[in-house]
Structure 1
């Protein structure tokens, strides 16, 4: 392996499963020291073991600002400055218009928008000039999806963060890019279904909308994140990189 991230320090929020875990593994395999976060200690411990000896886990909920402060205190005490920040934590649930509750709205925006904003803002003193920030957006931020409007709105906000923050951070040459996955076969996607049978039906319906005819794998998103984290993307800034099998392009 080329070790394109050799000697770099990376922080991955939401790193205990799915895209976050796959990316943490890729970062570590490419030579980075990786800090990962998750809300549940048992899952966090398992993820650290899976990533390997160059991983450190910090239990953290990105919607809680005190948790974010604790995350960066651990990083500061160990391996700062930060070269790569992957603000990936977040999630969503189905809620058609007419059934959306205040709690659903607040919870989704707290993790997906507030959490991303303060994950990045609180990292600024520890970020190396010329660092790479990667935000997890979604094809749902571009496309309409039934019963997923609140989630889609949060991801549209994340996409705009990348556009705006490259201007705020231009003097420090910090790049900010967004990855927008399409349907990726993760535990989070599976959890949107109420049963295994319903999940398989949902997966089939989603695959039918994708030109490649299948759902993506978390590692396929992780490979894109490695590219945006590395010097191979040194003149790429403010983009939205779709990892979606072509779904958002038709």
Structure 2
């Protein structure tokens, strides 16, 4: 087992399921002390139990600034610095142009853009010089998806935050990269696709559009995140790493 993150402190927002949970597990398996967030206490407790003794859960909604403060207060009570930050918390819903509501817009951008900005900004005092930040973007930020324009625009913003922040943080040698998953087997995806047979049918259709011939698994995204957060990516900065089976390349 690799120990790339032995004695490192890592924060993963939205770490109770899917990509966030798989990534938090992977960091802990490689020796990190991992702090995860989630909005529901029962899901948070279950995730901490699944990750193991290296995990600490902090309940919070990352679109709420007071909850972000509580997260970093919890980190500071145990550790003097953060070595890696995976800004994963996010979400979205479908609505075609003509049916977009102000509430949908605000909820999506508060979670996916406001939350990302302030999760990173409020981490700055704890992030060590030379730390790594990985933002969870999406292939939706680079290609059109019917009825998904608000989510897609929010993820395009996330990708551009990485481009700008590498300049803001260059004097501290903090790297900022974005990982962009394609269609990935997660509870959130199944919910977005309507669940049950409808979700399975949609995933099967989308798998036929992916050169790899299948949807991705959360563990595959986690491997990309750990690479970007590790010293193996020491000269990788500001990139968008697509983990999508080749979907946006065609």
TM-score, scaled relative to structure 1:
0.99
After superposition, where does 1:4-15 map in structure 2 within 5 Å?
Answer: 4-15=4-15
TM-fit CA distance, 1:197: 1.3
Structure 2 match to 1:220? 220
Q: Residues 159-196 of structure 1, C-alpha deviation per residue, up to 9 Å, x if partnerless? A: 00000000000000000000000000000100112241
After superposition, where does 1:56-67 map in structure 2 within 5 Å?
Answer: 56-67=56-67
| Structure 2 spans left out of the alignment, 5+ residues | none
Structure 2 match to 1:20? 20
Structure 1 match to 2:168? 168
TM-fit CA distance, 1:80: 2.9
Q: Quick one: distance in 2 between partners of 1:148 and 1:131?
A: 33
Structure 2 match to 1:193? 193
After superposition, where does 1:228-239 map in structure 2 within 5 Å?
Answer: 228-239=228-239
Partner SS, residue 150 of structure 2? helix
Q: Quick one: distance in 2 between partners of 1:2 and 1:218?
A: 19
Determine if contact 1:23/1:222 at 8 Å carries over to the other structure: yes
Change (3 A) 1:200 1:169: same
CA RMSD, aligned part only?
0.6
TM-fit CA distance, 1:200: 1.0
Q: How many residue pairs are counted as aligned between the two chains?
A: 250
Structure 1 match to 2:157? 157
Determine if contact 1:28/1:51 at 8 Å carries over to the other structure: yes
| Structure 1 spans left out of the alignment, 5+ residues | none
TM-fit CA distance, 1:53: 0.2
After superposition, where does 1:96-111 map in structure 2 within 5 Å?
Answer: 96-111=96-111
Partner SS, residue 213 of structure 1? coil
